[in-house]
Structure 1
């Protein structure tokens, strides 16, 4: 069934005349008549009482009129939702690494401006979230960067410093060989930096314990179970009150950048464009397309 046929049907019903409907729609009368007959054939029932002065809806026609008004109204609503640049709506699926310090401010501002958007957040590690953006399972994601991928566009969100986090104030590199490392699962950008540093220094950790959430990791560190690596900003409050202590790692492993990524050849919806605009407004950075790898 063609939606335009429903529009023709409504116009004929309004005027109770094929000729008047054809005049309003700028169609030839034979085309209007043919479309009404096709509609009746599809529904397997007459829709009008026909008489010399025109045609009026029968019972089945009145039923269809009610349904057609609802259908066409919904279609207009759908068009407005996608065409309205100032009032995006729908679901926006965003991936996050849990320690993005700028995220609450971005989300709060976006929610205030666009209350009709439903934000769906999925936590994960960088490699996992990158793959889900590439596979178009997520609209975008906050991950540890930079990322060099031919299908990815990115915008810098924040630069931070990574620190080793322990329960006690005293720390030496040898502690890594005697205490467990409490880390996110494989694919975490912070973990990758730590492993690169340890490899260069020839440090072999006593044990690596993998966790999926920030709360579990930092709670375990505070309990004295082991050592972790995190952005300094994510543990600033705990460090200030003495719950944990932070220790620097050397350059170039210390600096970490959080970026927002999206698949560059995916259709950029108004909803996602407004989200990117909010990030850029908060960070002063513009979405940067990465050169293709050669």
Structure 2
């Protein structure tokens, strides 16, 4: 059994389709089919239920999926361990939620210090990025916290306030029942806060429209299509020039914390440790600037 066969198997399981898996892997379909059949022959059991529209995992296939994830994650960990050097280098794969205001400063500072590191960024929602960190597909990720998981350790990056964002200044809670909500896909931490609030208040939204990018969401809000929820910092400039308007939501749903997560039992390479050190340094610097501003504003009052 080859490691690559397990990667092929995982891709077929994800897409439930030989043709879609072949497209993602840049293989011919016959090769993917042959590798799956060889895997089933080696294990002496079928792994999929096959039907006209594709194939889905059977019980044995689900068992293999769990084993394959563990095996391949250990292989990747082993590679990173042997590739690690005293000077950070190589590829660092980081997941991000799109509205992390502190991210550009962190990336810029890290890039300046360690030019031999190639930063690979993958945008997504919190739940998906969490799973990819657990599966060791990502070295770490910036997500909405806190995260309570036995395999995860976290570093706080920034605390922010969530706001409802609309086109016009006139707004009431009832508008949620008459206008579409424009939200990130399921698994987004901001969306989770809004849904918790609506559930407590008994608010039933008129419609939820799902989007994958910040630009599409905020552009649609600015066009008057609907309402969204975002960190206030991500729309400060747009609110200042009147493109959108921000509206408060009640506690405890308003406060949101962005954290950086990694799998705690994975090898902490020097490349990743330096990245975490940069996060901590930038966070400490931001907190010091904030503490210096507060006394000045209080004396003015």
The structure in which a higher percent of residues are helix is 2
Distance 1:180 1:71, change over 3 A: closer
Displacement, 1:28? 54
Q: CA deviation at 1:284?
A: 2.7
Aligned to 1:126: 126
List structure 1 runs of 4+ shifted beyond 6 angstroms.
Answer: 1-85
How far apart, in 2, do the equivalents of 1:198 and 1:53 lie? 38
Shifted more, 89-98 versus 55-64: the winner is 55-64
Q: CA deviation at 1:82?
A: 6.7
Which has the larger Rg?
1
Secondary structure of the corresponding residue to residue 144 of structure 1:
strand
Q: Secondary structure of 1:130's match?
A: helix
> CA 1:11 to 1:261, structure 2 compared with 1: closer, same or farther past 3 Å?
closer
Answer whether contact 1:166 1:245 (CA < 8 A) is retained.
yes
Paired with 1:14 and 1:192, the residues of 2 have a C-alpha distance of 25
* 285 and 41 in structure 1: CA distance in 2 versus 1, 3 angstrom threshold: same
Inter-CA distance 180–85: structure 2 relative to 1 (3 Å threshold): same
CA contact (8 A) 2:84 2:271 kept: no
Judge conservation of contact 2:156–2:258 (CA < 8 Å) in 1.
Answer: yes
Check whether the contact 2:93–2:122 (CA below 8 A) recurs between aligned residues: yes
Return the offset for 1:47. Answer: 50
Task: Show CA shifts across 1:69-113 (max 9, x none).
Answer: 999999999999979866210000000000000000000000000
| 1:19 equivalent in alignment to 2:43 | no
- 3-state DSSP of counterpart to 1:252: coil
- C-alpha distance in structure 1 between counterparts of 2:232 and 2:65, whole Å: 64
User: Which stretch of structure 1 is more off in the superposition, 52-61 or 5-14?
Assistant: 52-61
Give the unaligned 5+ runs of structure 2: 287-301
Instruction: Normalising by structure 2, report the TM-score.
Output: 0.67
**Structure 1 residue 225 corresponds to structure 2 residue 218:** no
TM superposition score normalised by structure 1: 0.69
Q: What whole-Å deviation, never above 9, does each CA across 1:222-249 have from its counterpart, x for those lacking one?
A: 0000000000000000000000000000
Aligned mates of 2:218, 2:163 — CA distance in 1? 13
Question: 1:56-77 CA deviation, whole Å, 9 max, x = no partner?
Answer: 9999999999999999999999
Query: How far 1:283 sits from its partner (Å)?
Result: 1.1
Relative to structure 2, which stretch is displaced further, 54-63 or 141-150? 54-63
Cα gap change, 1:191/1:56 in structure 2, threshold over 3 Å: closer, same or farther? closer
Counterpart for residue 149 of structure 1? 149
On the 8 A contact 1:142/1:260 being kept in 2, the answer is: yes
1:200–1:20 distance in 2 versus 1, CA, 3 Å? closer
> How far apart are residue 55 of structure 1 and its match?
64
8 Å CA contact 1:82, 1:88 repeated in 2: no
Alpha-carbon distance in structure 1 between the residues aligned to 2:191 and 2:160: 15
Whether contact under 8 Å (1:81, 1:88) holds in the other structure is no
Could you say which residue in structure 2 is the equivalent of 1:212? Answer: 212
Residues 194 and 47 of structure 1, relative CA distance in 2, 3 Å threshold: closer
C-alpha distance 41-110 of structure 1, shift in aligned 2 (>3 A) = same
- Residue by residue over 1:12-36, the C-alpha shift from the partner in whole angstroms, topping out at 9 and shown as x without a partner, is 9999999999999999999999999
Question: Aligned partners of 2:18, 2:201: CA distance in 1, in Å?
Answer: 86
Q: Secondary structure at the match of 2:4?
A: helix
The answer to whether the Cα contact below 8 Å between 1:17 and 1:54 also exists between their aligned partners in 2 is yes
Partner Cα distance (1:131, 1:33) in 2: 28
**Cα gap change, 1:113 to 1:70, in 2 (>3 Å):** farther
Superposition RMSD in Å: 17.3
Q: Aligned in 2, Cα 1:36/1:89: closer, same or farther, shift over 3 Å?
A: same
Segments of structure 1 that go 5 or more residues without pairing to the other structure are 287-294
Greater alpha carbon shift after TM alignment, 39-48 vs 72-81: 39-48
